[in-house]
Amino acid sequence: MATGFGFDRDAVLDAARQLTRVRSDLESTGQRSPRLTPTGSSDVDAALQDFTTAATRHQTALLAAVAAAAARLDGVVAGHARLDSALGSQLPTNQPSKGKTHE
């Protein structure tokens, strides 16, 4: 029913799946990050540590944003199903009425 209004359920579900894969890829990339080794310069070591800390913080925020977007798309699909059901229940059917008939 609601697909008549231009909703492509499969495309939304595919986008949600892709976002979930992106999140998984980002998580695995973060796990492969090498440990920092001393460079011999305390200034360079401190700068690298600051960079690593900031990158980790931004990665955490990015993962949360990607997960939230995937959840919203899943919510769109669930909302579409509820809307479709509600609209469909309001339409008359071609079935005969269960009341009296005119003979």
Q: Distance (Å, rounded) from C-alpha 86 to C-alpha 79? A: 10
Q: Which two tokens stand for residue 7?
A: 């909703």
Chain segment 48-58, per-residue pLDDT in tens: 888 888 888 88
DSSP 32: T
What does the chain come to in residues? 103
**Reported confidence tier of residue 59, pLDDT bands at 50, 70, 90:** confident
> What is the per-residue pLDDT across 9-36, written as a single tens digit (0 to 9) for each?
889 999 999 999 998 888 887 666 667 7
